[in-house]
Amino acid sequence: MYINNHSISPAKVVRGKNAWVKSLDLVTKLCKRPLIIGRSSSTRKIRSSFKKDLLLKGIQSISLELDHDCCELDIQKAHEVSRNNNCDGIIAAGGGKVLDTGKLIADLLDINCITVPLSASTCAGWTALSNIYTPDGKFVKDVTLKSCPNLLIFDHTIVRAAPPRTLASGIADAVAKWYESSLTSSASQDGFVQQAVQMARVLRDQLFLNGYEAFLNPLSNSWETVAEGCALTAGIIGGLGGSRCRTAAAHPIHNGLTQLTYTNKPLHGELVGFGLLVQLDLEEKNSNIQLPKQAKLQLLDFFSQLNLPVSVESICLGGKTSNELYKACKFACKYDSDIHQLPFPINENDLFEAIKNLQSTPISSKTIINNT
């Protein structure tokens, strides 16, 4: 009998309108001198308000603005600042890479971690996993952490104010859960994995039904369903399925495409969504059924409604040389890549051809990289 050590969820999750304010007593029980980390200048005002709110509760916090994506330089810097100031907790407030940085620092220092997603662009606020990048945003590796955060605060008031583009990115990332896990794990005999795969299917259906309205109207009921699906439910799926509920091609393709240089870099979910279309193209070529083709057409239509990139041009790859794209494909197909969980053999040549197949936009989607 095998033994699995699961980190399924944060110890506590507070969600809803004004969740941050309603969580202050919980925060004060977890830490007396936290380090608040963030990155974007556009969210600086939110982090400053957190600092003031904590001070009113008698909590003196330290602030640190990160310089890069979740990378060794920023991790070392935050680690040093936290130790030098005797911080007993981390409050990570931002997007996925900020949340990943906060989780990893708390894990290294063995102190409490509080995640406050400022958008619904990923489920990073939930998971016991951090993705490491280079200072210029190239994916390096993922790191499994000892546990999920001690507290996740998903404040609808704050997240509603995030750019619609971040929600669309989160939808693409969350939709991929079904298409990847069902391909690699549907035959698993592990009950948790089976349940995680079925949750991914239900989440996909909810996103298809409510995603467009949520994207258009952040005050709608659909927005709550979709935003929480992207930021919370997607995390539950990863927690239940764990390492046995692996990704397929979409996320490894994302990792490969981050190795390229962009003038306006796509968001995580935008690259994952594009990778998902490439995955379905690969499935179509390597199967005798029409399902992958039908799924790709459905996603092309859905992603186009959300202004997500669906072609080489709209993901800003049109100007890349064949040599550059080939290197990205080679990275995605490294020997230890999850892309090899596909039920058929794959190499960089196959992937390169599949990406080239998305060189023209089949539906009237828009280039969204500058659209915030």
CB 170 within 8 A of CB 159: no
Residue 363 lies in a domain: no
Q: What pLDDT score does 187 carry? A: 83
Whether residue 124 is found in the same domain as residue 178: no
Same domain, 146 and 27: yes
On whether both 122 and 145 belong to a single domain, the answer is yes
Mean pLDDT estimate for the chain: 92
Tokens representing residue 60 in the block? 């003196």
Q: What is the mean pLDDT of residues 271-283?
A: 97
Categorize the per-residue pLDDT at 274 as very low, low, confident or very high, splitting at 50, 70 and 90: very high
- Do 188 and 98 fall within a single domain? no
pLDDT digits (tens, 9 = 90+) for 17-52: 999 999 999 999 999 999 999 998 889 999 999 999
Hey, what amino acid is at 166? T
Are residues 197 and 105 part of one domain? no
Query: Is residue 4, in this structure, part of any structural domain at all?
Result: no
210 and 302 housed in the same domain: yes
pLDDT the model gives residue 288:
83
In a domain, 76, yes or no: yes
Number of domains forming the structure of the chain: 2
Band (319; pLDDT cuts 50, 70, 90): confident
Residue 186 maps to which CATH number? 1.20.1090.10
- Sign (positive/negative) of CA torsion 83, 89, 92, 93? negative
Residue 318 has a pLDDT of 77
The tens digit of pLDDT for each residue in 140-153 reads 999 999 999 999 99
* 204: CB partners within 8 A, 6+ apart: 174, 175, 177, 178, 179
* Average pLDDT value for residue range 103-114: 97
Among 160, 181, 215, identify where a domain stops.
160
370 pLDDT higher than 70: no
What are 137-141's contacts with CB under 8 Å, separation 24+?
A: 137/68, 137/69, 137/258, 137/265, 138/258, 138/259, 139/254, 139/255, 139/258, 139/259, 140/71
Stronger pLDDT, 8 or 362, i.e. the higher one? 8
Q: What is the pLDDT of residues 78-99, one digit of tens each?
A: 999 999 999 999 999 999 999 9
Residues 182, 148 within the same domain: no
Secondary-structure percent of the chain, ordered helix, strand, coil, rounded to 5: 55, 10, 35
Tell me which residue range forms the domain holding 292. 171-356
